[in-house]
Amino acid sequence: QVQLVESGGGLVQPGGSLRLSCAASGSIFSISAMGWYRQAPGKQRELVAHITNGGSTNYTDSVKGRFTISRDNAKNTVYLQMNSLKPEDTAVYYCNVDDELVAGLYHRVYWGQGTQVTVSS
């Protein structure tokens, strides 16, 4: 079993910044992809950012140029640097880790418990 511990959420004013962290621990086989999702009130969960084990990144259009996902493989940690925050970024942010038991064949997906990000003046 893999455990994910999230931190870094909080209340910020528009234009502010936050850095989210998600550390994985436990019975990790081989983490492939890591990502951040968010779910805003009254909305469906959406993918915010994704990073592969090779460092390739993808972002949803609404956060491009403002958010940066990164990872520290030695620490099994994924980060989300969030700059120029907007009220529409308000959501519960969940980290996601894809643990690859068999390359290209079998994966276990784990979720963090979520951290609240509120952007409001």
Per-residue pLDDT tens for 39-48? 999 999 999 9
> pLDDT tens digit string along 24-80?
999 998 999 999 999 999 999 999 999 998 899 999 999 999 999 999 999 999 999
Q: Are strands 115-119 and 46-51 parallel, antiparallel or unpaired?
A: unpaired
Q: What angle do CA 50, 24, 26 make, to 5 degrees?
A: 140
Point out which residues pair with 34 in neighbouring strands. Answer: 51, 97
- pLDDT category, 1, cuts 50, 70, 90? confident
For residues 97 and 23, give the distance between their C-alpha atoms in angstroms, rounded to a whole number. Answer: 10
